[in-house]
Structure 1
């Protein structure tokens, strides 16, 4: 397996009274799972820029509406359709 798919996204949350709510979007393809806004890193783009772009495209939330926790991030690696996917998730608050 030599193909590696790079992707990035934001885990967006907000506090509402005594609760914490997370932004999850439902996939448009089966099994219609729920996921944070994320997507592929385009050529010449870094993960940070890709995460911001995907969040704006998928959820309509721009960088100016978010607070970022730069020290809080996680990279997940798993296989999808015979390719290794590497997702970098960054934490942000709306």
Structure 2
């Protein structure tokens, strides 16, 4: 592998990891429910709108989740795409050099 490919692999792993962690990390609204607890909306993987519905902030939670998914999914997908582009040529059989 060349230095450029190694650098691309590092960038790909960072993008993929950052995107997946961003999807996993909980999404909160800056608002609080009637008991003073910050409103949790769920994560990029799944929504949890029980607290937000009770506080009347379900629409804001859906928007916050959509915003998180809107940038985290493309970041993770870009990292995964770079990984695929780097790995596919390594999996192809190399042509044997014919001895003259």
TM-score, length-scaled by structure 1: 0.26
Higher relative contact order (CA 8 A, sep 6+): 1
Greater fraction helix: 2
Query: Who wins on radius of gyration, i.e. which is larger?
Result: 2
